[in-house]
A and B are shown apart, each in its own frame.
Chain A
């Protein structure tokens, strides 16, 4: 009873989900069967969604499910199961690829660890965990405000002419989205045309 009471449950569940995510990510790396890889990837991403839910960001968590887990699903179906011949299903990773991947991965790890340690609010202990303030997330808040049309950094701009030119990021964001949509439609069109030619030949 006393032991259970002493557990910090938030940290406990954080570790559960984090270990699941990391463990299944290792599963992706060390499995040679490509369908198993996709399955582990899904579980790893699902555990990450659990972390988001734990942090109270349920929209991001649901988004994680919708986009990443659902996206892996589509990847699994159309990218792997339909195209993979039996020689691709079991992938052999060569020694050179291992070295390259280890170099890239460890570089990223060092970079992230450095960023984590150099961030002051991550290393200093917090007195009251409940009072997680907006000030900790000011970068994200500014980004969100900019996306909805209000640029907080325009307050520091002295020249009024330059300040007027600083509009929100919504229009560029939409332009990028439309570009992606165009690419998507173009890709499906190209794939379709190719199929027609091959079917008429055969």
Chain B
């Protein structure tokens, strides 16, 4: 993207020729990425909190917010945000001053950093890491750090209880979550999220969730563990309102309090996005509308780098991004639905769910998927005649092929 900005935009605006690796392009590209991602987190939180209120209202046979901002109360969250901004920033007398103030930012920073490697469409990613899955899972595990610091630093028993529960829960659920994430990675042979998404192109039968029966079960285990790891009901023991006042954020008020919530909704989006990419085809719709065979609309990141930008391809990617966000919002809605439907589990039930059910099931499904691959058993996608078969190729092979293609086209151009 930096090369693109330097070559096309800045070269037009500024006099003289700019080199492709000029620092201004990189800085603008970084700013654009940061601001876009920050908006995903902040505006996403605004939308999801409104959605949470509406869905919970409907589930409890109420209307939810109706007045603020016209018809559906869609400005309710903004009004709440302004209210939170004007609240007093309280600091309890017993609190550990430094850690109390820092904890919400730690939580938010961890939640936000995971977006760095989360692709929204083919090539639309902050940083296309080769180990993106691993990076996202590792960063997601750090969000609990802010919660534990908050629980400790508040100097309140409720907060400490909430923090310790969160610690025990998240550390335990990292194990089945990691196992579940491993299964699609093994099936694809890569940890690059962009590659995993692109390998599920074509009809919805090519989505990894329909790859084999084990993978189908793994998705549900993943979703359970993801709900637990982002600390949502029925696993929201860290903030159990009926027992612990508000758990780890009992002592917080104002903007610091809202940072915890932005982090929570940001993480919900991340785990849902990860589910969409790993299991549900990412930015590919159920029907290959934008497939390269049918419409020649498919977008590839190499084209941008090579300077052959096409509006059609860009629109196709925009549709892919919409697909991805739609799937993710559906998963978040399911999380909200579950929250307002199921009662909260006890801490021993939470641990039992994790260690006695999720871990063994995930391990069995891992073995099952590996066996399915090993023995070459058919997946539903093979039954389609025009099936697009994803091939396992590592990122460096793809790069090699891209460079070979570029060399070939350069040689052709030189020949003419």
Chain A interface residues (CB < 8 Å from chain B): 4-5, 7, 9, 33, 35-36, 39, 42, 58-59, 61-63, 65-66, 69-70, 73-74, 76-77, 81-82
Contacts and interface: CB of A to CB of B under 8 A. Distances in A.
B171 A62 contact: no
Contact of B134 (A42, A66, A82): A66
Size bracket of the B interface: 20 to 34
A59 B23 contact: no
Contacts of A63: 134, 138
Nearest to A49: B138
Contacts of B137: 66
A182 B273 CA distance: 36
A44 to B, nearest CB: 14
B141 A70 contact: yes
Interface string B76-109: 0000000000000000000010110010000000
Contact of A70 (B134, B135, B142, B149): B142
B322 interface: no
Interface string B109-148: 0000000000000000000011100110111011011001
Contacts, number: 63
Contact of A69 (B26, B98, B134, B142): B142
Nearest to A67: B138
Given A9-B26, A39-B149, A74-B171, A58 B138 contact: no
B235 interface: no
Interface string B156-192: 0000000010010001001000000000000000000
B152 interface: yes
A33 B153 CA distance: 12
A82 B131 CA distance: 34
Nearest to A6: B23
Contacts of A66: 134, 137-138, 141
Contacts of A42: 145
Contact of B142 (A73, A76, A81): A73
B155 to A, nearest CB: 12
Contacts of A69: 142, 145
A10 B209 CA distance: 41
The 10 residue pairs across chains A and B that have the minimum distance between CB atoms: A66-B138, A65-B138, A59-B131, A62-B135, A58-B129, A62-B138, A77-B167, A62-B134, A58-B131, A70-B141
A58 to B, nearest CB: 5
17 contacts: A35-B96, A35-B99, A36-B98, A39-B99, A39-B102, A42-B145, A58-B129, A58-B130, A62-B135, A62-B138, A63-B134, A65-B135, A66-B138, A69-B145, A70-B142, A74-B171, A82-B164
A5 B96 CA distance: 43
Nearest to B102: A39
A73 B163 CA distance: 12
Contacts of A4: 23
A176 to B, nearest CB: 21
A4 B28 CA distance: 14
Nearest to B141: A70
Contacts of A65: 135, 138-139, 141-142
Contacts of B135: 58, 61-62, 65
Nearest to A8: B23
Given A4-B23, A59-B130, A73 B138 contact: no
B203 to A, nearest CB: 32
Contacts of B142: 65, 69-70, 73
A140 B145 CA distance: 33
Contacts of B171: 74, 77
Nearest to B144: A73
A63 B153 CA distance: 28
Given A35-B96, A66-B141, A77 B148 contact: yes
Given A62-B131, A70-B141, A81-B152, A7 B99 contact: no
A73 B23 contact: no
B254 to A, nearest CB: 23
A139 B194 CA distance: 32
